[in-house]
Structures are given as structure tokens and as C-alpha cells.
């Protein structure tokens, strides 16, 4: 079973791999909203924002896997 979207996003934020600005620029979600979600300042963030952030993390992970395979 796949992990809930929110849990996936929060785990990625916990890994501290990206700045809030990188996530905002890549996902299209405002930086302050990204920061509030990452810091759990929003109790129930909108699914559209969480989906955009998750899509960004998935795309970044895919790019890393592709570039690792070309070395």
C-alpha cells in the first residue's frame, strides 16, 4: 500500500534535501505556504498544494535516479 501523500511530503521535508525556495520554485506553491506546511503551521493544508509539492519531490527523485544511471 502506498504511503499517504501528506506523510510522503512531510518525510521529504524532514530529510532537509531542498530549501523552501527550491520547493516553491519547482512546485509553483508560494514559498511562505511551503514553509508553513513544512513547519506544520497549517493543520490541514489543501490537497492541491500538497499534491504539487509531492509532484515536485517525485520529479526530483526521478531526475536523481536517471542521472545516477548515466554515470
20 near 35, Cβ under 8 Å? yes
DSSP states of 15-70:
TT-S-HHHHHHHH-S-HHHHHHHHTT-SSS--HHHHHHHHHHHHHHHHHHHHHHHT
Report residue 68 as a C-alpha cell. Answer: 545516477
CATH value at residue 38: 1.10.260
58 pLDDT more than 60: yes
Task: Report pLDDT for 16.
Answer: 82
Quote the pLDDT of residue 66: 61
Lowest-confidence pick of 3-7, 13-17, 64-68: 64-68
Cell of 20: 523552501
Residue among 63, 29, 68 nearest 9 (CA): 29
pLDDT of 34 above 90 = yes
Supply the range of the domain harboring residue 34.
5-69
More confident of the two residues 66 and 58: 58
Q: Rounded to two decimals, what is the model's pTM?
A: 0.84
**For the chain, how many structural domains are there in total?**
1
Query: pLDDT at position 71, please?
Result: 47
Amino acid at each position: 500500500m502506498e504511503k499517504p501523500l501528506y506523510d510522503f511530503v512531510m518525510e521529504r521535508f524532514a530529510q532537509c534535501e531542498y530549501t523552501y525556495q527550491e520547493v516553491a520554485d519547482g512546485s509553483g506553491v508560494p514559498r511562505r505556504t511551503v514553509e508553513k506546511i513544512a513547519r506544520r503551521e497549517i493543520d490541514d493544508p489543501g490537497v492541491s498544494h500538497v499534491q504539487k509539492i509531492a509532484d515536485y519531490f517525485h520529479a526530483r527523485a526521478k531526475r536523481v535516479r536517471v542521472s545516477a544511471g548515466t554515470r
